[in-house]
Amino acid sequence: MSDTSLTPNVTGNINLKKVKMFDHISQLPDCILSYILTKLSMKDLLKTSILSKRWCNLWALRRDLYFDIFNVFENNEEELLQKRNSKKFIEQFSQDCLKLTSLDYNGHDLANLNFNTPMLNNFHLAVSYSQHLIAFRLFATLPKLEILQLDIYSTVSTSLKITQRLEHLKQLNLILMRPFDFLQKLEFGLSGILTILQASPLLQKLSVMKDARDLEAFSHDEVKVIELRGCVGNWYEIEFAMNVMKYANKLERIVLTPYWRDDIDESLDWNFNPAWFQNGRQRIAEKLQNEEVVGREKLVLI
């Protein structure tokens, strides 16, 4: 006699054809759906737009559409070129932009970038460290450039080399970054700050967002505000601040803070550990307390 317990009970199984399938995601409010879409690449957005008529209309809620290589193909430039056995198709960019006053450029091959922008006042540039000399040569050709944000990507300890003077530059935000998969901690020499100040005689505000090393005294006739982010109370940071307060003739404020930038995603900042930063501020205050500091009133701890 066969064992009936081993026989499947077909009549007891759920008939999937009769189960009503609900699209729970589409029941969410537009604001939440729009936020979800911001986390997808353009390639995935195209796929989701055909799921329902309602999803198609969500494109109108997007503030920004990025049609760059990563968002469209989910690859970086080099990977895409290797897969398709392709070559870069832009050999030279040459353009007259006579009325352009602000430019945000994130790309490669600065040597091939040739544009005439006599009115350019505000420039945001992201560049690898290997091209920073080309970048500063480019800056020197911009007669009206007063505000510069420079993001430098590097995998080596850096010290900027500037051979051209930036005659009209008044504000510089310098951010040094490293790839997420690069474990070695980058160090930015304070000599790099001196180089910037020497090359920028009219500079009034300098923000450096990276660890700093090495110490030298300096003087500057125009700088009014210096922000040194990433400070945790090391001796060379204190000495540098004291030199700045003593020798920068028109200095109004020097800001020392353990925080990096305050205008980016919190996940990239260190706000999740406020106690650690508080200790950094305390170390700075304690080390300056017993020192005879010229211009102490100009020091701001954040």
Lowest mean pLDDT among 16-20, 22-26, 74-78: 16-20
Mean pLDDT of 235-262: 75
* Opening angle at CA 200, ends 194 and 203, nearest 5: 100
Confidence category of residue 275, pLDDT binned at 50, 70, 90: low
Mean pLDDT of 1-27: 53
CA–CA separation, 95 and 144 (whole Å):
18
CA–CA separation, 139 and 34 (whole Å):
39
User: Which tops the pLDDT comparison, 252 or 49?
Assistant: 252
The residues pairing with 175 across neighbouring beta strands, listed in sequence order, are: 151, 209
CA 28, 30, 36, 40 dihedral sign is positive
For residue range 66-122, list pLDDT tens digits in order.
665 555 555 555 555 555 554 454 555 667 788 888 888 876 667 777 778 888 899
* Phi, psi at 86, each rounded to 5°: -105, 175
CA–CA separation, 302 and 296 (whole Å):
15
For residue range 114-173, list pLDDT tens digits in order.
778 888 899 988 877 777 778 878 888 888 888 888 887 765 555 566 667 777 888 888
Assess whether pLDDT exceeds 70 at residue 18.
no
For residue range 188-246, list pLDDT tens digits in order.
555 666 677 777 777 777 776 654 444 455 566 677 888 877 776 777 777 778 777 77
Using a 10 angstrom Cβ sphere, with 0-12 exposed, 13-18 middle and 19 or more buried, the burial of residue 115 is: middle
Assess whether pLDDT exceeds 50 at residue 11.
no
What pTM was computed for the model? 0.49
For the chain, the first-to-last Cα distance in angstroms comes to 84
Q: What is the pLDDT of residue 4?
A: 46
